[in-house]
């Protein structure tokens, strides 16, 4: 699952009672029709249309195929910085006016996000406001630099740096994700750096660097536009041609597209000191890229291990042994490489060694024998039902089309996505556990409460 999908999936399961297996009929119903029309403008902009006459709204979802993996050396954080700059106005849209236009139009679910693999911008409006959104998006695709001056650049750079302080530097356990990323992926790997950005790189950057990045990556031939909802396809194409057609094609940017899995030899340990109340253990395995062989199996195994009170890790650590305050497992899927991660936070008085031993006992069981048929069917039903539930919202559906387009080459992939989960068996999950969750070749992080250490954590023996 992608990081975005994880953020949606876990709350969705909770909202539906922790498990969708009790609503097995949801997963067995006929799949909804998700027909799409795909085309490419002469300037290279990829257009994906989906008609749904049952909704009064239209979702506009624009992906630029640039994430932190594509940032030039010394410019870590630029993809994220641009997510902020894109909301500050453009040639014909003054500062703070973009949200004013959208609010007056009745927009909802308006935002942008940055990941390792892409940057996206999205909103949902009443269908009669589609032309306004296309004008706004085309203006910032074609004419953002007419508005971005030194003050805007410095202001948004400060916002990004402050976001990093709040969510990483000043947050309990906040730097653990960076320690993992840097150890799992060598400095030559596109995933070595976090999306949030490097203060050193951001502070050293100039307005000229901003112009270069924008002209390289924020171009029509590096973008895909999904328009989904109550639309007339021919009229929508006319509007897209009107607003995006005049934007010139640029030289093809260099983006990383080929799978580059991480490799670990033996068990690697990171000891972290942090001024936190409770110890924590994180176990990380390199795993297959999004939609590659093994990705779906690991999605299912993550549910068998940590979805609900009867799941193996939750039952064992939280209820039987009562040594963990929380535990969860997930497959964090990305375009070039992924990671399967297990995180457990100890109850007071429990050591990280005890947590790891309990985790390893359960992992040994999934390597030794296939999961039960009930576990397999529950995981499959939950995965399928969550996909169907997810696409009920037109904005989520539009984003999913863009996700499919980037990772599989076609937006018309929903049926195949469902099929890969339906094809799972106890044997295939057992093979995946043996292949991807070995006792060795993994990264283990021990976070130990340490008075005087940073709340976010520091590697033991390193600088504060």
What domains appear along the chain, each with residue ranges and CATH number?
Answer: 32-244 (3.30.830.10), 267-459 (3.30.830.10)
pLDDT given at position 4 = 52
Mean pLDDT of the region 87-102:
94
Dist. CA 416–CA 299, nearest whole Å: 16
Alpha helix (H) residue ranges in 61-149 = 78-85, 97-104, 130-143
Contacts of 296 (CB under 8 A, 6+ apart): 383, 420, 421, 423, 424
pLDDT of the residue at 28: 53
By the 8 A CB rule, do 201 and 75 touch? yes
Q: Sorting pLDDT into bands at 50, 70 and 90, what band is 259?
A: confident
Q: Do 414 and 400 meet the contact criterion of CB atoms below 8 Å apart? A: yes
- Average pLDDT, integer, range 233-254: 97
Q: Are 120 and 112 in contact (CB under 8 A)?
A: yes
Say which residues have a Cβ less than 8 Å from residue 374's Cβ, sequence separation at least 6.
Answer: none
**Binning pLDDT at 50, 70 and 90, where does residue 360 land?**
very high
Model confidence pLDDT, tens digit, residues 159-180: 999 999 999 999 999 999 999 9
Work out the pLDDT band at 23, boundaries 50, 70, 90.
very low
What is the average pLDDT score of the chain?
A: 94
CA angle 362, 368, 373 (to 5 degrees): 85
Average pLDDT for residues 248-264, to the nearest whole number?
89
Q: Distance between CA atoms of 407 and 117, rounded to whole angstroms?
A: 10
Q: What local confidence, expressed as pLDDT, does residue 16 receive?
A: 47
> Taking residues 378-390, what's their average pLDDT?
95
Other Cβ atoms closer than 10 A to 385: 23
The pLDDT assigned to 168 comes to 98
């Amino acid at each position: 699952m992608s990081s975005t999908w994880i953020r949606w999936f876990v709350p969705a399961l909770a909202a539906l009672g922790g498990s969708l297996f009790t609503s097995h009929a949801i997963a067995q119903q006929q799949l909804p029709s998700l027909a799409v029309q795909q085309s490419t403008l002469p300037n290279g902009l990829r257009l994906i249309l989906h008609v749904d006459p049952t909704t009064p709204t239209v979702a506009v979802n624009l992906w630029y195929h640039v994430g932190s993996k594509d940032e030039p050396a010394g410019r870590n954080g630029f993809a994220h910085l641009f997510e902020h700059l894109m909301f500050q106005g453009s040639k014909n849209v003054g500062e703070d006016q973009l949200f004013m236009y959208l609010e007056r139009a009745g927009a909802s679910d308006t935002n942008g996000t940055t990941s390792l693999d892409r940057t996206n911008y999205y909103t949902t409006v009443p269908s009669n406001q589609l032309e306004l959104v296309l004008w706004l998006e085309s203006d910032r695709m074609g004419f953002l630099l007419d508005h971005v001056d030194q003050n805007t650049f410095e202001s948004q750079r400060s916002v990004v740096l402050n976001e990093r302080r709040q969510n990483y530097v000043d947050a309990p356990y906040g730097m653990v994700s960076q320690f993992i990323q840097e150890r799992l992926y060598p400095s030559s790997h596109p995933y070595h750096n976090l999306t949030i950005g490097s203060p050193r790189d951001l502070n050293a950057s100039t307005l000229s660097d901003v112009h270069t990045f924008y002209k390289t990556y924020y171009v029509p031939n590096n973008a895909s536009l999904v328009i989904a909802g109550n639309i007339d396809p021919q009229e929508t194409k006319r509007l897209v041609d009107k607003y995006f057609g005049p934007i010139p094609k640029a030289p093809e940017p260099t983006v990383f597209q080929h799978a580059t899995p991480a490799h670990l030899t033996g068990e690697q340990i990171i000891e972290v000191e942090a001024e936190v109340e409770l110890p924590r253990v994180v176990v990380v395995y390199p795993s297959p890229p999004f939609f590659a062989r093994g990705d779906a199996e690991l999605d299912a195994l993550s549910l068998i291990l940590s979805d609900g009170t009867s799941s193996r890790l939750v039952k064992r650590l939280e209820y039987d042994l009562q040594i963990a305050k929380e535990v969860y497992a997930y497959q964090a899927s990305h375009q070039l490489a992924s990671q399967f991660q297990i995180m457990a936070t100890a109850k007071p008085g429990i050591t990280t060694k005890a947590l790891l031993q309990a985790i390893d006992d359960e992992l040994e069981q999934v390597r030794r024998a296939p999961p039960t048929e009930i576990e397999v069917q529950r995981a499959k039903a939950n995965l399928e039902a969550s996909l169907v539930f997810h696409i009920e919202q037109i904005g989520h559906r539009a984003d999913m089309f863009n996700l499919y387009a980037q990772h599989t080459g076609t937006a018309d992939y929903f049926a195949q996505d469902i099929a890969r989960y339906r094809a799972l068996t106890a044997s295939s999950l057992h093979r995946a556990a043996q292949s991807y969750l070995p006792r060795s070749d993994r990264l283990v992080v021990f976070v130990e409460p340490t008075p005087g250490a940073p709340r976010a954590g520091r590697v033991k023996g390193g600088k504060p």
